[in-house]
Structures are given as C-alpha cells and as structure tokens.
Structure 1
C-alpha cells in the first residue's frame, strides 16, 4: 500500500497499518523473555552420567545433528549416521565464566544505577557471508560445503547480544532498557522484514523465510511516521531531525552507503528500535503527574488547572502509551497498573551501548577458526572496546557523546544555546554531560537524542582477543589501554571484569567513585591475549604508580 501527503495522513495510514497487523506485533512482544543462554552441541560423553536413566540427557539423533537445516533433512537421512553422538545443551551465558564475565560496583554511591544484559536475541543473521572454498569437496561427501553458511535446526546461527546501560537520576530508565530494548530490536526486525545475510541467492522458495510484516512502502511510512511523532511530540531540535540510517528520510543524502543500505538493513532496524523505545519512554513520563500537581488536586482553586498544565510534551490527540508495561520479575505476575518507569514521572535517563555478534556458521564466535561480524550501537558515554591480538592495542568502537565532541557540537549548537564549561574544564549542555541519552525529557527539545552511533566490523578468525563494555564509572578513571591490559592479566573473562572494576574503584578519588560496570566477552584470540605488544607491560608501570598513589593515606589531604 502507498500513502502520501501530510504527516496527518501518514499518521492515519500507520494507525490503519498497525491495526491490521496488531495480532502479529502483539505476538512478537509477548512471545518470550530474554534468552540468557546460548545453545550448543556437545558430545554426550562430556555430560555427567545418569545411572538411573542413561538416555536422560539425549535427544533423538535427528534433532542432535548440527549444521543440518530443514531443507537438508532428506539428504541427511540418506547419509550414514554421524560417528559421534552429540547432544543439544543450553548454557547460561552469565554463568559461563570462561566465555563471559561481568563486574559491578556501586562505588561510593548509596545505590547502583547501572544495569547490563547478555544473551541471544531472535533476529536474522547479519554476518558477512563467507566465499565458497575452491577446494571444497563435493556436496555428497562428508564435510562438504566448508565455505557455505550452514544453518542450525532453528534457522540462522544465534545472534549474541551484550549491553551496558548507565542510568542517571535513578535506575528506572536503565532497567527499562535492560528488560525491553532487545524486544524493540526484535520487533523492528520483523516489521521491516530484515533478511538473513546468509540466505543463498538460489535458495528455493520453500526454504526462504517469510518477508516482514511490512512491505517496502510500509517500511518507509514507519520511518517517516516515527520522525513525524518526534517532531509533533517534542518539537525544537526534532523539527529538522533526519536520522542517518533512515533511507526514507535522508533520501541517500547523508547515509554513508545509500546504494547498499536498504530499508530492512540492520542499521535501520537498530536506529528505529532505539528511537521508538526512547519515544515511548518519553511519552510515558510526560503523561504522569508531578508531585506538585498531586498536591494541588486538594486545593479548590488550583484543582481547576488542567491536569497537563506542566506537561511540556502533552498533546490531547496522542495520549501517552500507559498500556506499555515493564517486564515483570521472574516468578511474579505482570503488574498492569505500573506504567513505564514507575508510577511517578522520571526526569532522569540512561546511556546505552550494545554489541551484537553474528557468525556465518553455527561455530561460535569465540572459536579461533570462526569469522564473525560485530555491530555496535551506542548512545552516551558508555564504551565498547576490542583488544587486537597481533599488537595488544585497544580498538575503540565508540566515542563519547559529550558537548566537546566535534560531531556533537556541530549537531547541537543551533538549538543548545547553553554550552558552558564547568570548574573541571568539561563542557556541558544545559547541565548535562551527555548529548545523547534515553529519557531526559526536559532536555529533548534542545537535542538530547537516542539516535545511535552504529559501527559495523567484520572480524577475521582470532583477529581480536576479547570484547569489553564499560560504563563511565570505569572509563572516567582508566584509559582504554589500561582497561585492556588489566583484562590481559586475568585467567578468565569473569576475573578480568572484576579486576577492571576493582582497579577503577581503587584509583578513583576518595568519595568520587561512580557506579562501575564492566563486561568482558571472550573472542577467538583469547589464548593469545598476552602475546601482542609484549602483553600488559605497556601500562604496567603507570598502573603500579596509580595503585601506590591510591594507597597513600595522605592523598586526600593534598
């Protein structure tokens, strides 16, 4: 269907469109909670024996065979049975200390506003498809098709998802992102019809996945409708807002690769998911009553004032999405009376950095022989780093969204007339250190946006040793290379994450230790992390000096 004309007509068209597909969208939103585990195949001999029921852990052989897609079932049954019996297992990634580690500290603060997430999400693969090897064996021989992307029983290989969310003014927004942001990404992938990058061009129609809920024109309407909502709901900066990865809005003018960036690309999906989540969180907070309004309801004169008198973002034709609820805690029933961010208006916000990793085959990304593709989406001053295997250097994937960043200063100076420099020499905008964040409803009009900075990186096998995600409680006290070198000295990612947080808290000025969170993810070059650049000796002397200085009892008196 095609819809043209004013934003009003686009809005009406979107209402009709969502009404038609609401059952599907509702199913996507409610189909599952976050997968905090990954699925893999292990030899049955590696499992603990069960004397009472020897076959307790085993699934049928046709369900245990890896690398076989639904279209290959007949060919697989015609081949000899595999020589090694394997079993499908689910491993909680947050408990797999040799693959993942998380260190958390509230520092000197009375409470912790940081949150994090780690697991897998249900979106099509976006990994770079590997070329077919010229020495590839014939399809009928065992081990044939080395260069071809192999599908698992459930479809594409798993997409891993890691995120750090640093709240300010409270934890309501960071908890909302921890529990809901991955759902917005999955829903956007379905709506835009994101296709797998591993899909063969000659694949039969029976093997291809269904298209998205929306067609191509509908996807453009979704982009334009979301921007229209931002313009009419907030105004100010958003009246000229054109997200970089929205082809329907930019018309290829500011998109980096307009010829290769379709409406269903992973960059467009992530941009839509971030902006949609932020819009619904902002609307929900704007519709709530402040404490002053609640107390004025008892006054016979003040009670005649409109209930929305202080709601800058209120619009009578668009009530806030009070029907959107946060995910209930495990084991508890949903609280239908609790809107997003609690019952009272939340004026704070949160930064966010997520990293998604996709592989072209079921071999996990931490295998030294497995290539992969990493997508980083970033808002604020949380950071994502990689450690290069060959030279041991830190490879940052994000830049802090602060007023002194040239790209942010250029973007905001037209509307943010209150750029000031505090006593520490840091530039701030309206009292805020971050120019991009979720929430912060009082600063949306001057340009505080949740439009993500997106980085795509195709990783060669064992090119990087590990991935690190940190909040500003870590990066504010340690530079990138110090963080990487601390992790190099650890035996496991879990130990590395805790060592980074401990060191950052230790060297912080007395009483100035912020909430600190660090995630460490094992990559293909983990076993070689101490080789490149002489290991961790690059910053060892500097770190030892800082430790000794922190241990000096007279430091606080200087």
Structure 2
C-alpha cells in the first residue's frame, strides 16, 4: 500500500474498528473494547510524561526508552515548543500505552493480557468511506497476533494483502527485539513457541510480568491509501489465522451478501476446520464490495480440506 500523508485529519469523520483477543481471562479485552477508542479520542500532548514514566518503569534497560513515534514530540516538549495537535502516529502510540497503563492499575492485571488490531479510516474530503469516489486513508495499529487484511477488486480476482504483521516469536524482528531485553523462547506441549514460557504474543496489553522483556503495547502502525477498487477489510483473531491462510480468509468473504453474513461464515468455516481458539472476525465493506472482478481463488482447496475434516469426523463417529 501507498504511505499516506501523516497530517492529522481534523476535518474528516474517522471510522474506527478493532479486534481484541484476550488471554488469561476476558477482563483485559473487555476493557479495551470500550476504553481504547476513548483513549484515542482524548489523547493530548499532556499525556506524554505519564506515558513515558510508565514505560520507563518496565525495568533497568527501559530507563531512557522513548517509543520511536514519540521522539519528535518529546524533543518539541523539551524545547517548550509542544505542538497544539498530535499526528495520527503520536495519538495512537500515546493512546495504546496510556490504555495499557490503565490496565496495570486494575485488580486483574496479573497474568491477563490482550491483543489489539485496529484500523482508522477517513476520507480527507469528508466523503463517506463506502463512496465509489472516496480516496480513503487508513492507519492500521496493531499489538499481538490478530491480523488485518485488505482485498482489492482488480484483475487478480482479489488477492489478500496483509495490513499488519503478527507479533509472535516466528517474526525475526520481534524475536530479536525481545532477545535484546534478555527474553528466552521455548515451545509448549502443543508446539507453540512462547516467550518466557508464558506468552505467545511478543507485544500485548497487560502481561505485566513480562513487560521488561519487551512484551509491550507499543503499536506497529502502517499507513495506506485506498482507491475506489478497495473491496473490503477483514480483521481476525488467531483462531482464524491458525486454520485459514490469508487468501482463504479473503475468499470466504467474497460473494457474501453482507459483511455480517461474511463474518459469521468465516467463524463457521474456521470452526469446521477444527479451530478451538478464540474466533473473532470483523468485515468492513469498502467501495468495491459488489465488484464483479472478485473471484474465489481457493475454493477447491478449501472444499477438499473441509471434506477431509468431515470424513475424519464420520470415521470417528462410526468407530
């Protein structure tokens, strides 16, 4: 995707969507569901000092840490030239870290955590985001392994485009980032890789015991410009990515009458393929939702997999 202009769009209405996948309990993900948007809306330059203070309490080697997205802001504040408005990256980073700080002050913060994969969409001219002629800007901010995907209606038939990367030990940059803070990795009895024998996500809200190893809620933020050929965005938890490829996820959505039907169908297919993890799917229709160019590219493959699963179930049932 093209990198969008980083100006804050104060004139436009912003559409916000997000998926939160909790672990160790539901309190953390429930909190983010209602509080993260509020933190994003209410973030101000004045939050910088408390956010930095919280991050710098993670441990010894965090004493001088400043998230990359906040370096410019911190320098401006130190020169007594604090800007009157925040860029989108500054706003999102402050909001995610402030929300995580609020999680720390709850009675359930021990041993609980959550991912967050969020998308902000706006049209700089103020057009509705589903209008054919809108030139959408999108910022995707993510922490953990929930995932955002885009489908465009083009000559390819609609290839899946990943808008975020999963923060888990298999990502080299993430693994190296945690190792710099002294983290070790091991596999659990299911063969899933974990940091500090505890967490499957290398970034998360909550999980305070492993913050000092780099399991932070600092979001990875990416910018995209979406033209009229954008068909839809899907955000899913790892209960879906564990059993479906990106292309399969996008293909299941194609041909569905509404986003709500598509989201239900995604969860249904993942369940049939044996996923027993938290399953959340969010589908957002964009201007080219009804485009005739969209083709189900993995139908045969998916059908074979579903048939194989059904066959195993029948065999088990007859034993």
- Of residues 361, 371, 374, the one that matches 2:125 is 361
Cα RMSD of the aligned pairs, angstroms, is 2.5
Deviations 1:93-144 (A, max 9, x none): xxxxxxxxxxxxxxxxxxxxxxxxxxxxxxxx945xxxxxxxxxxxxxxxxx
In the alignment, the residues of structure 2 paired with residue 237 and residue 425 of structure 1 have an alpha-carbon distance, to the nearest angstrom, of: 31
Higher alpha-carbon deviation: 238-247 or 513-522: 238-247
Aligned counterpart, 2:4: none
What is the Cα deviation at residue 474 of structure 1?
Answer: 1.0
Alignment map for 1:435-514 (pairs within 5 Å): 435-460=202-227, 462-508=228-274, 513-514=276-277
What is the Cα deviation at residue 504 of structure 1?
Answer: 0.5
- 1 or 2, which has the higher helix percentage? 2
Aligned counterpart, 2:279: 516
Residue 231 (1) aligns with residue 46 (2): no
Aligned counterpart, 1:17: none
- Is the 1:477–1:504 Cα contact (8 Å) retained in structure 2? yes
- The structure whose RCO (Cα within 8 Å, separation 6+) is larger is 2
- Is the 2:92–2:141 Cα contact (8 Å) retained in structure 1? yes
Aligned counterpart, 1:403: 169
- Is the 1:224–1:249 Cα contact (8 Å) retained in structure 2? no
Aligned counterpart, 1:175: 30
TM-score, length basis structure 1:
0.51
Aligned counterpart, 2:116: 352
Aligned counterpart, 1:166: 21
In the alignment, the residues of structure 1 paired with residue 18 and residue 315 of structure 2 have an alpha-carbon distance, to the nearest angstrom, of: 35
Deviations 1:393-436 (A, max 9, x none): 01111111001211111211022342113455442201211010
Aligned counterpart, 1:246: 70
Local SS of the residue matching 2:128: coil
Q: 1:414 to 1:519 in 2, by over 3 A?
A: same
What is the Cα deviation at residue 239 of structure 1?
Answer: 2.9
In the alignment, the residues of structure 1 paired with residue 254 and residue 73 of structure 2 have an alpha-carbon distance, to the nearest angstrom, of: 44
In the alignment, the residues of structure 2 paired with residue 422 and residue 237 of structure 1 have an alpha-carbon distance, to the nearest angstrom, of: 28
In the alignment, the residues of structure 2 paired with residue 480 and residue 251 of structure 1 have an alpha-carbon distance, to the nearest angstrom, of: 40
Alignment map for 1:424-443 (pairs within 5 Å): 424-430=190-196, 431-443=198-210
What is the Cα deviation at residue 445 of structure 1?
Answer: 2.1
Deviations 1:323-372 (A, max 9, x none): xxxxxxxxxxxxxxxxxx5xxx5421110011111112332111111111
- Of residues 93, 107, 121, the one that matches 1:271 is 93
- Is the 2:110–2:209 Cα contact (8 Å) retained in structure 1? no
- Is the 1:159–1:357 Cα contact (8 Å) retained in structure 2? yes
What is the Cα deviation at residue 182 of structure 1?
Answer: 0.7
Local SS of the residue matching 1:245: helix
Task: Specify the structure having the higher radius of gyration (Cα).
Answer: 1
Local SS of the residue matching 2:103: helix
What is the Cα deviation at residue 446 of structure 1?
Answer: 1.8
In the alignment, the residues of structure 2 paired with residue 556 and residue 168 of structure 1 have an alpha-carbon distance, to the nearest angstrom, of: 31
- Is the 1:173–1:348 Cα contact (8 Å) retained in structure 2? yes
In the alignment, the residues of structure 1 paired with residue 12 and residue 85 of structure 2 have an alpha-carbon distance, to the nearest angstrom, of: 23
In the alignment, the residues of structure 2 paired with residue 451 and residue 504 of structure 1 have an alpha-carbon distance, to the nearest angstrom, of: 29
Please, which runs of 5 or more residues in structure 1 have no aligned partner?
A: 1-124, 128-154, 193-218, 253-260, 289-340
Residue 531 (1) aligns with residue 297 (2): no
Local SS of the residue matching 2:28: helix
Deviations 1:144-188 (A, max 9, x none): xxxxxxxxxxx8332111011101111100011011111111111
Residue 545 (1) aligns with residue 304 (2): yes
- Is the 1:467–1:522 Cα contact (8 Å) retained in structure 2? yes
Please, which runs of 5 or more residues in structure 2 have no aligned partner?
A: 1-6, 77-82
Deviations 1:479-535 (A, max 9, x none): 110010000021211111111110001101xxx51121111111011111x414xx0
